Amino acid sequence: MSVSDYGLERQLMRRLEAKLPGYRFYELDLTPHKVVSLHQTLQQLLPPEVLESPAITYCVHVLGLENSRLASEDGQIVDSGLIAQLNFEREIVFRKPNYLTLLWGDHDFFVQLQRQAPDFWSWVTYFFEFKQEEAYTEVPLPEVPAPDVPARLPAREEYIQHLEAKLQQLPLNAPDKSRTTRERLNLYSLLADEYAKYFDYEKAQKYYEYAINLYEQLGETGTKLNKLLFDYASLNLKFRSYTNALGIYQSVLSNMIAQKDLYNIGGAYYQIGRVYQEQQVWDTAIKSYQKALEWYQKLRQYEWLGSIYHEIGIIYEDLRDWNQALENYQKALEWNWRIKQEHRIGGTYHQIGILYEKQGQWDQALDNYQQALKWNQKTKQEHLLGGTYHQIGMLYEKQQQWEKALENYRQALKLNQQTGQEWKLGSTYHGVGMVYSSQQKWNQAFESYQLALGWYRKTAQEHELGSTYHQIGILYETQQQWEKALESYSKALEWNRQTGQEHQIVGTYHQIGMVYEKQHNLVKAEEYYQKAAEALPPYFEDERAIVAESLARLRERAGAEG
């Protein structure tokens, strides 16, 4: 099937599927893959449901074949070798499979296929060529693109729709193939970036892979490809695909060193530090941040120093080394003041507020949260305000000032909805649920927890589900609904294991132990208290004391009852 543009290709696929209701259809887009052997690629990428299906159950749309022949910026055709290889694969591609193969591409691909692979072409049963009757008219982009801030906003939706429309109408049969290739690369890159900011991981990943594959096929190894790979790694980090993120960052770092791209090496070490930090590999994270500091100072890139000290402060805060944390936050503030990076000052005040809140120093925490609000309002970063109101809500919740807590949580919800920060809504609904639970308003609490679960799922934050299921377990436990409590705790354990939240498992093991103790099942209670003790990280001193107290109480009780 030869088509003149992607929009026409999509229309024809849908019409064909409607005409052949007796078949099942599967789409395989080869755009993100460098294909030399079509047979091997089909065997690797098609799922078992297609490969092992009864004969002629499936029709497989094979898309993206036009990418086997690309034009570089100097107009030279770069051939992947696919067409030549097809001459040797004619029988295994068409005769052996138990599905029908429908090949889609542009005019140039099929012309070259007829010329260079005549043996393969002789096996082609039908060939159709389709062109749009209307002349290609360029789809204009909005004069003002979507804001740079990650958010689900109408402006971003409109911008994405325009990019998609422009891609769909991009002519594949244009005489200047190099220009068409550049336009496709640009659109793939823009769409990847916009979908990432829209929190749509799957579509962002798809377009990053499209763009990266085309760059690699064109032999691009310089700054453009490094930037694209760097952004793709950041997408994986955002959605907690740590192994992928680390591998890509390290590959980019190697490229930068080999290409003597000294200016960006500090940024690569900084991002590698973030990957290790989010996995709680503290020592390696700090070493990576220190390397980033060295490179930034060496190249006089002082504007980034505040961000690194800020992240090091978070690590020490997580390790409960309050003095070291505060010292690094102060360094972050000093550098951001000195280099006039005022847009970062509010974030550090916010984090200092969290630091004081964790120590129960409520007044200092509130003062720093107020500073964060002031600086973020001053620098027009409204998308950060909701996060600080959320923390103020938590602060009042810990002081059992329920109405003030709810007031600030509601303000957080309002601001985050207004600024498109949907990924923050789940945690705030979770907080609202905890307030209602503390007030013994069970129905409102349960409703808020369900809203939290819904938003976590919608925004691909499965790593947060465990904490909410844990709180639902506490809600049922408080009402002595033991089976429902255990069921919710089991879901909490399951999600925390799946998403690597090992540090949260301790509390859930302990709560399960408490449920069994309240039911007078002392053997089971001891089993789960012991599991909690064994799962404790070394720096969880408060939790260690609680678990030890529970074990001692249980053993004393068992001795008295024995």
**324, two tokens:** 């070291």
Among the three residues 83, 99, 121, which one is the final residue of a domain in this structure? 121
pLDDT in tens, 379-403: 999 999 999 999 999 999 999 999 9
Does residue 10 sit in the same domain as residue 117?
yes
With 90 as the cut, is the pLDDT of residue 116 above it?
Answer: no
Helices (H) and strands (E) in the chain, counts: 27, 5
Residue 537: inside a domain: yes
Among the three residues 362, 380, 398, which one is the final residue of a domain in this structure? 380
Question: Looking at residue 87, what is its pLDDT?
Answer: 80
Q: What is the DSSP letter of 206?
A: H
Question: Looking at residue 71, what is its pLDDT?
Answer: 60
Does residue 18 sit in the same domain as residue 112?
yes
Sheet holding 24-29, edge to edge: 24-29, 58-63, 100-103
Total domains present in the chain: 3
Geometric angle at alpha carbon 454, from 451 and 458, rounded to 5°: 140
Residue 45: inside a domain: yes
Does residue 371 sit in the same domain as residue 471?
no
User: Could you tell me the pTM of the whole model?
Assistant: 0.83
Domain coverage including residue 551: 461-562
Residue 315: inside a domain: yes
pLDDT in tens, 194-245: 999 998 999 999 999 999 998 888 888 888 899 999 999 999 999 999 999 9
Does residue 375 sit in the same domain as residue 465?
no
Residue 346: inside a domain: yes
Residue 320: inside a domain: yes
Give DSSP secondary structure letters for 271-294: HHHHHHHHTT-HHHHHHHHHHHHH
With 70 as the cut, is the pLDDT of residue 484 above it?
Answer: yes
Other beta carbons within 10 angstroms of residue 21's beta carbon come to 7
Question: Looking at residue 111, what is its pLDDT?
Answer: 85
Does residue 364 sit in the same domain as residue 471?
no
Distances (CA, A) of 65 to 29, 69, 76, 105, 458: 9, 8, 18, 5, 34
Lowest mean pLDDT among 36-45, 327-336, 469-478: 36-45
Residue 84: inside a domain: yes
Among the three residues 90, 121, 152, which one is the final residue of a domain in this structure? 121
Which of 61, 81, 58 has its CA nearest to residue 69?
81
Residue 551: inside a domain: yes
Question: Looking at residue 512, what is its pLDDT?
Answer: 97
pLDDT in tens, 254-274: 999 999 999 999 999 999 999
Rounded distance between C-alpha atoms, residue 379 and residue 375, angstroms:
6
Does residue 376 sit in the same domain as residue 465?
no
pLDDT in tens, 141-176: 555 556 677 888 888 999 999 999 989 988 877 777
With 90 as the cut, is the pLDDT of residue 502 above it?
Answer: no
- The enclosing domain of 314 has a CATH number of 1.25.40.10
Residue 354: inside a domain: yes
Please give the torsion angle defined by the CA atoms of residues 218, 223, 229 and 234, in that order, rounded to the nearest 10 degrees: -160
